[in-house]
Amino acid sequence: MTETTDRSADPVAVAAPFRYTAQLADRLETRWQDRWEAEHTFEAPNPAGPLADPGKVAERPKVYVLDMFPYPSGTGLHVGHPLGYIATDVVGRYKRMTGHNVLHALGYDSFGLPAEQYAVQTGQHPRVTTDANVANMRRQLRRIGLAHDPRRSIATTDVEFYRWTQWIFLQVFNSWYDHEAGRARPIAELVAAFETGARPTPGGRAWADLTDRERREAVDAQRLAYLSEAPVNWCPGLGTVLANEEVSADGRSDIGNFPVFKRSMRQWMMRITTYADRLIDDLDRLDWPESIKIMQRNWIGRSEGAQVEFAVAGADPARSLSVFTTRPDTLFGATFMVVAPEHALLSGALPAAWPDGTNPRWTAGAADPAEAVASYRAQAAGKTDLERQSERDKTGVFTGLFAVNPATGSAVPVFAADYVLMGYGTGAIMAVPGQDERDWAFAEAYDLPVVRTVQPVDGFVDAGGKAFTGDGPAINSGFLDGLAVVEAKATMTQWLVDRGTGVGTITYKLRDWLFSRQRYWGEPFPIVYDETGLPIALPESMLPVELPELADFSPTALAPDDELSQPIPPLGRVTEWVDVELDLGDGPRPYRRELNVMPQWAGSCWYELRYLDPTNTEAFVDPEVERYWMGPKSPGDVGGVDLYVGGVEHAVLHLLYSRFWHKVLFDLGHVSSEEPFRRLYNQGYIQAFAYTDERGQHVPAEEVTEDPREPGRYLWQGQVVEREYGKMGKSLKNSVTPDDMCRDYGADTLRVYEMSMGPLDVSRPWETRAVIGSFRFLQRAWRCVVDEASGRALVVDEPADEATRRIVARTVDGVARDMEGMRFNTAVAKLIELTNALTKLPVVPREAAEPLVLMLAPLAPHAAEELWSILGHDSTLAYAPFPVADPALLVDELVTCVVQVSGKVKARLEVAPTIGADELETLALADPSVVTSLDGRGVAKVVVRAPKLVNIVPAP
RNA sequence: GCCCCCGUGGCGGAACUGGUCAGACGCGCCGGACUCAAAAUCCGGUGACCGAGAGGUCAUGUGGGUUCGAAUCCCACCGGGGGUACCA
């Protein structure tokens, strides 16, 4: 320490110039951050390529630690943001000190709606706001002292990054899913199979007989990226379509909370559904929180059952009705059918008149079925999804048609009703009111018969039970009678297969991924259209397709409730970019570029791979580098990042999409790992109290004080305000910035506090006033080592006493375990205990001070580096070995044995840890207080858990 | 409605696979030292109730159960959080 600046302005510094104050912390933290950068301390060597340093790689096992990278927010960070980053930094630093080659980097998810919405709101070009926001976040994060490899900090908006995003899109576009092989294959192999006849063409005609266009269509229909005219989520407020995963349950956009409408549009899709089974099955091979796995399983929504064909009576045989059911065993109880209002059956001819004896309730007062159905369809079409979902009452109308139940041979009426959704299964169901609650409700409303096909458990009907969905023996079901549900399902499915009227099948809730957006701030597609309007992939040599500069980048402005206008992507305004002449192998021809851009998720689907090899210009990642950092560790291992930390909010978005892309890349042989993230850890949120005045407006939380006379009452500018609790952020006016904490206490204090608040995976409330505790801890640790007057080390080289050596060993052992288990809160507690113990010593021996400093290093790296240097070490402690406890010191000479009588502690014995059970029992029974407690009663039983516990059960 | 997670002092939280009178560590609070004073720092105390005291009784959302022994395992209920929702 050589600083002398401004000490006179700081009265404390005059008294103790080397006291650990916020100012001192600030100075030493900045100095160490500069030094780490100058000395390339945290640059991780690769096994090959430009970042290679093979000698260093060979020495150390690798660890890849990853954070979910942030999008560059305009408001900067609050203290909740770096929680996960600090945790991974602690892990990374600990791993370096235990001899690992640690890859840890942080980039920016800078394309997409969040970044673009911010630009639109501030009226600045997204390039400008994105760059400014990234710069600000880099500054804030650097201040926290994160040990990232700066060479690997990519942004998804970098041209050299998104050229590879486009390249991966081409891989997806140029591949198809071979269901027999269970994997994706290059599209050229599909063409070859068509040519040789190994695979039949869709129409069954010979490949040679097809026109060019027919061939194109046959191939395009198999691509994993394809154009499709389908109902999509149209969000006029954002001027774009959205993926299912980006729309909330109440039909609004996750971003901006605008209404979303279903609307048929031609869009790019990704065939994620072909991976549904693998996406579910491989969850079992991942070290992820069970809750996230459950959410992905539910989202994919795999359900096994049967598809059953019902002949429509009186109609031509082609008009059969196909339904999906998970309960083929209940077929004998299918007493009516229901189709969705949008079902194709309703577009065909309907009977001219109501059949004789039609129940008047079925007709909705219409003169004939056509009128009834038309009016019901119009009514259903006029409802939003939200309205449709909020109405639980069953409505519907008879179509005049009857279908033949293949099991009973009887004709059952077919209804149109909006409780059946077009988007799931076949859009039609066989209704079994006896075994399905919704069908029961419909049957009740429309006087339809109920046939129970599973014997309800005793008392179910008497207790008012209606549809019985549980297990039981089949009844009223002919050849199924007596079988339990599982066997009945299998038997019925086989029966249907034998008769050719059904087949066992699996359906999914998961839909293909809508991949295009009518926005500006995203990756352009490497796609052009020829004069006939067919999409053509650009060759790799034409990458990157750069996003053109555009002064007016706003999406087409539409009212949030405008369901009808066509979106015009902003790129459509750059005519000189859109209309191009290219030579794609058959001479220069005019083409028109794809105007849509990719969604926000494109870059985050593979960024973890680019960290590995960020400067590679030949490939998105060198296979050897990928194998080193992410390859399987053993046969059967899925490979991937060793530790991925982030919030739960991406459970079915980023975490599903990136698994899908990664599997495509694996299938095509571009990566050796089957999964991107072997281990996932969800950190909790930092929450904070927020306050509202009597109008319900949020007031700045930092200005609110608790009424000293009345705890639980909160005051802001003299008025009483209501307290609430929520996620920290701008809208609740309860943000606390890391900058303020660094200024008031220093980055190390912030880090220690965030790690000590509680278990990492649990949300917890921020309390600025509690930060002081972490500061005091660092101050005490500092004082153990440094003379506050001279700044010199205070430690002595004499051996420590036995007790000190034991507590050091115990702390080392416990902290190492806590680090491995990511229990940073208890690690901090143990370090505080050690520090408090050392504080009581007249002078701290070096053999206690050095382990303390080293253990502190992952949590409070700047202070630790400074103390390490004061202790006389020249180089950084980033790679100094983490202390190892002497096992001999972990075994106490005497342990306390508790003696209980009937489970109540009556005595304590100091015994050797190696004491035998018999000896301990004898000792316990002889103890005077035990004898008193037994009070002459005999002993019924003695439980001995040597050396810690003896429990004596007296005779009654 | 269904699925998942969680209920421990005034507060955040400890308690390894059921086993040392549960409450580590920190905040806050109370008392003391230093100071003209305050801040900062340091030392001590702090689950509730009864008792002058040693000590005793009650305590891990509520009620049952399993066990020699339960915050920990099982059942039911109450409360909170998250996911999902007419998915056949």
pLDDT in tens, A42-86: 999 999 999 998 777 777 899 999 999 999 888 888 999 999 999
Pairing of strands A719-727, A643-646: unpaired
Asked if A668 and A184 count as a contact pair (C-beta separation under 8 A), the reply is yes
Q: CA at A430, C1' at B38: how many angstroms apart?
A: 81
Nearest nt to the A821 alpha carbon by C1': B16
Cα–Cα distance for residue pair A617/A610, rounded to 1 Å: 11
The amino acid at residue A869 is S
Look up tokens 């409303």; give the residue.
Answer: A445
Cβ of A636 near strand B (distance < 7 A): no
User: Residue A610, CB half-sphere, CA atoms under 13 Å: how many?
Assistant: 28
Q: CA at A807, C1' at B14: how many angstroms apart?
A: 18
Q: What is the pLDDT of residue A651?
A: 87
Cα–Cα distance for residue pair A673/A631, rounded to 1 Å: 5
> At residue A391, what are phi and psi to the nearest 5 degrees?
-85, 110
Q: CA at A787, C1' at B44: how many angstroms apart?
A: 26
Cβ of A579 near strand B (distance < 7 A): no
Q: CA at A915, C1' at B70: how many angstroms apart?
A: 27
Assign A270 to helix, strand or coil. strand
Q: What is the pLDDT of residue A384?
A: 65
Q: What is the pLDDT of residue A895?
A: 79
pLDDT in tens, A707-754: 666 666 777 887 888 777 777 877 788 889 999 999 999 999 999 999
Nearest nt to the A777 alpha carbon by C1': B26
Assign A825 to helix, strand or coil. helix
CA neighbor of A405 nearest in space, from A305, A494, A312: A312
Q: What is the pLDDT of residue A905?
A: 78
Q: CA at A703, C1' at B59: how many angstroms apart?
A: 38
Residues 200-219 of A with CB under 7 A from strand B: none
Cβ of A327 near strand B (distance < 7 A): yes
CA distances from A384 to A246, A389, A656 (A): 17, 9, 28
Q: CA at A536, C1' at B85: how many angstroms apart?
A: 41
Asked if A878 and A60 count as a contact pair (C-beta separation under 8 A), the reply is no
Nearest residue for B13, CA–C1': A758
Global confidence as pTM:
0.92
Cα–Cα distance for residue pair A520/A583, rounded to 1 Å: 26
Pairing of strands A428-431, A502-507: unpaired
3-state helix, strand, coil in chain A (%, to 5): 40, 20, 40
Q: What is the pLDDT of residue A320?
A: 85
User: Residue A67, CB half-sphere, CA atoms under 13 Å: how many?
Assistant: 26
Pairing of strands A513-514, A705-706: unpaired
- Determine the Cα angle at A187 with ends A183 and A190, to 5°: 85
> At residue A572, what are phi and psi to the nearest 5 degrees?
-65, -20
Token pair for A331: 């077929």
Q: CA at A949, C1' at B72: how many angstroms apart?
A: 18
Task: Pick out chain A residues at pLDDT < 70.
Answer: 1-15, 314-318, 384-391, 557, 707-712, 956
Nearest residue for B10, CA–C1': A711
Cβ of A757 near strand B (distance < 7 A): yes
Nearest residue for B86, CA–C1': A419
Cβ of A648 near strand B (distance < 7 A): yes
Q: CA at A232, C1' at B3: how many angstroms apart?
A: 28
Q: CA at A282, C1' at B18: how many angstroms apart?
A: 34
User: Residue A762, CB half-sphere, CA atoms under 13 Å: how many?
Assistant: 11
Strands (E), A334-407: 336-339, 396-404
CA distances from A90 to A32, A269, A413, A744, A859 (A): 16, 40, 66, 22, 6
DSSP one-letter code for A770: G
Q: CA at A67, C1' at B70: how many angstroms apart?
A: 39
Cβ of A839 near strand B (distance < 7 A): yes
Nearest nt to the A441 alpha carbon by C1': B86
User: Residue A498, CB half-sphere, CA atoms under 13 Å: how many?
Assistant: 7
Q: CA at A706, C1' at B8: how many angstroms apart?
A: 25
Look up tokens 């201040």; give the residue.
Answer: A143
Cβ of A294 near strand B (distance < 7 A): yes
Q: What is the pLDDT of residue A253?
A: 84
Cα–Cα distance for residue pair A115/A603, rounded to 1 Å: 13
DSSP one-letter code for A465: -
Cβ of A813 near strand B (distance < 7 A): no
Nearest nt to the A326 alpha carbon by C1': B88
Asked if A862 and A29 count as a contact pair (C-beta separation under 8 A), the reply is yes
Which uninterrupted H or E stretch holds A289? none
Cβ of A836 near strand B (distance < 7 A): yes
Give chain B positions with protein CB within 7 A.
3-5, 11-15, 19-21, 24-28, 39-43, 68-70, 82-88
Q: What is the pLDDT of residue A695?
A: 79
Q: Is the dihedral of CA A155, A53, A93, A649 positive or negative?
A: positive
Residues 385-424 of A with CB under 7 A from strand B: 388-389, 391-392, 394, 418-424
Sort A872 into a burial class: Cβ within 10 Å, 0-12 / 13-18 / 19+: exposed
CA neighbor of A348 nearest in space, from A303, A401, A389, A302: A401
For the CA atoms of A824, A830, A832, A838, what is the dihedral angle to 10 degrees?
A: -150
Q: CA at A839, C1' at B51: how many angstroms apart?
A: 37
Q: What is the pLDDT of residue A928?
A: 78
Q: CA at A911, C1' at B55: how many angstroms apart?
A: 27
Asked if A289 and A682 count as a contact pair (C-beta separation under 8 A), the reply is yes
